[in-house]
Structure 1
Amino acid sequence: MSAENTGVPALLNTALPSPVPGEEHDHCPVTDALRRVGDKWTVLVVVLLGQRSHRFNEIHRGIEAISQRMLTRTLRGLEEDGLVHREVFATNPPSVEYSLTPLGRSLLDPISTLAQWAIEHQPTIAASRRVNNLQPRNN
């Protein structure tokens, strides 16, 4: 960041075309990253693996409501994106352990920052929702 920066993140200094072309939005790296971390299970899996490596069933037991199918899909997506490492051990039966890669570990700070923001602003957001749900909408 330059000396003239006033603390505004560089992303907000980026000029967006108006309207934003749909194809540009679809291929934007930020959109892609938000799709990954914005799904229902990714953040929980990343946080759990941020504590230590886990076997599949440990992760499954650690996230009560996730199905085996969704956990498999989530782990495969995270592995495909380079965020999770899958290691197969030649035991009988074979065992598999999942851990975060350095790239996956680098996601823990932004997730923590977002979590801190959400906790700090949750009362304000909840109050706004209550007010806005009480008022009729003029569509």
Structure 2
Amino acid sequence: MEIKPPLPPFTRETAIQKVRMAEDAWNTRDPERVVLVYTEDTRWRNRAEFPEGREQVRQFLERKWTRELDYRLIKELWAHDGDRIAVRFAYEWRDDANQWFRAYGNENWAFNAQGLMTHRYASINDLPIKETERKFRWPLGRRPDTHPGLSDLGL
């Protein structure tokens, strides 16, 4: 049986840890790595897509990161209770015409006893921005610990 600590029920500290781990994984832009934190039968809502299961999620992520170039993400804990976590997030990306966007959103997560995510429901809005308006400028990959979070950036 796969186990992905920290495990529910979440404390504030373990929920923050789980959120940062998710942020770090998504910033790799590696679908093979990211899907390993979801159950085999995970259910998602992401904008107008509803992938079910790891394979559909992997395919979704491949399409996403092919389209959303130079992707950088920050997640922040909003609330937690038992086996559920709510986060808010923002990420910046550009399309193949070099138009930059900042996506703002909220996610609701549910976990099984082994710490794998069973459900992920995301609501997301994209805002076109100028390159000069970008706030997420660290090298691709994990956000440095010294980089401000969403609240610090006023987002």
Q: TM class, shorter-chain normalised?
A: under 0.3
TM-score, normalising length: structure 1: 0.24
Q: Which has the higher contact order (CA 8 A, sep 6+)?
A: 2
More strand by share: 2
